[in-house]
Amino acid sequence: MSSMQLRSIEESKIHCAREDFKAISSDSVVFDVVDSYQSLFDMVMR
């Protein structure tokens, strides 16, 4: 998947989604992007 080239419209959608999730995150709930079980585990264990 890392070798896939995203079109600019797809990159824009991803950027907008990340900004939206950042805006609704709070101290008790944090939204973020994970790409593996290990990155999820690392975020949970913070």
Give the mean pLDDT of 22-38. 85
Residues 17, 9 contacting (CB under 8 angstroms): no
Question: pTM, whole model, 2 decimals?
Answer: 0.53
Domain contains 17:
yes
Cα within 13 Å of Cα(28), Cβ side: 0
**pLDDT for the residue 37:** 92
Residue 2 included in any domain? no
pLDDT band at 22 (very low <50, low <70, confident <90, very high): confident
The dihedrals phi and psi of 13, each to the nearest 5 degrees, come to -65, -45
> In the chain, how many domains are there?
1
Domain boundaries, position 29: 8-44
The mean pLDDT value for 10-31 works out to 86
